[in-house]
Amino acid sequence: MLQTLAYELSVLAKAIQHKNLSAAAVHVGLSQPQLSRLVAKIESELNVVLLDRTARRKSGWTPMALELSLIFTRGLGRLEGEIMALAEERDITELRIGSLEGLSGISTQFAKSCFDQLGMKLVYLDLLDFRDLDSQFLSGNLDLIFTVKSPSKQKYQKMIEVGFQQMEKVNSDPKTLICSPFEFAGLEKREVEAASHLLVSNSLSLRSQWLHNFGGAGTLPVDAKKGRGKGHYSIYLIGSDILSPRIWDRLKTLF
């Protein structure tokens, strides 16, 4: 319970920097309904009121929300400082890495380099879709992620561009849309209504097989490459805020 509450309060501490839920949701990697449920859960667990829901338009934060966020942030700052001090004194032997499935080539090569050049003992490498990658990273479950976009609009101190990737458009059957949950969420209403069939899957390999075997309309990533490529999607390696700066500097040398 304490671990879950700590995550919830960490989200609140980020959300409180914005005047209302709709503005905050953009920056914390959650949808507005998800953030609303999380705030309601904290209110229930701690028996406090965090949102002034009497506002005519958009609910604003209460003084209790501001105070609770400040208390948590101060405590977290002290804890992170102690953790960082300990981390600086020793080498880590394991890493938790998350990657988009379309970046599996570059992320697996990176994991191999962690073994060969940095002497890592254990590497967890999970292939996730956009939503899960963002939520897992923002909740502190991943040390590093390979992605083509930032999980939120906040600026990350540990973020470098490590490669590029082109996208292949398939349009053999315009009436059958094949897309990821992230792509589906971005479709316009007219696009959904114009389609005869829609297949939504978080598996890149499944979408690729469908498009090649049965046809349809969709986008597939081409093999990621190191370096820079004009006009292509940039690939980023992003490190957790509590990752040791010394370890981060060593990880950057692998590119």
**Cβ atoms of residues 192 and 174 within 8 Å:** no
**Cβ atoms of residues 178 and 199 within 8 Å:** yes
151 lies in the same domain as 183: no
145 lies in the same domain as 244: yes
111 lies in the same domain as 160: yes
Domain that holds residue 129: 91-166+226-252
Supply the pLDDT for residue 138.
80
204 lies in the same domain as 217: yes
pLDDT per residue rounded down to tens, the chain (255 residues)? 555 677 788 888 888 888 888 888 877 877 888 888 899 998 888 888 998 877 655 668 888 888 888 888 777 666 665 555 555 556 677 899 999 999 999 999 999 999 999 888 899 999 998 888 988 888 778 999 999 887 776 778 899 999 888 888 999 999 999 999 888 988 999 999 999 999 999 899 999 999 999 999 999 988 777 777 665 788 999 998 777 788 899 999 998
206-249, pLDDT tens digit by residue?
Answer: 999 999 999 999 999 887 777 776 657 889 999 987 777 888 99
The CATH code of the domain that includes 23 is 1.10.10.10
What residues contact 36, with CB distance under 8 A and at least 6 apart?
21
Tokens of 159: 């973020």
Residue ending a domain, choose from 32, 52, 87: 87
192 lies in the same domain as 69: no
75 lies in the same domain as 23: yes
The CA-to-CA distance between both ends of the chain, in Å, stands at 39
The structural domain count of the chain equals 3
Residue ending a domain, choose from 34, 62, 87: 87
What residues contact 244, with CB distance under 8 A and at least 6 apart?
84, 87, 88, 92
Stated pTM of the model = 0.66
10 lies in the same domain as 53: yes
As a whole number of angstroms, the distance between CA 107 and CA 126 comes to 10
212 lies in the same domain as 247: no
152-178, pLDDT tens digit by residue?
Answer: 767 788 999 998 888 889 999 999 999
Supply the pLDDT for residue 88.
57
121 lies in the same domain as 39: no
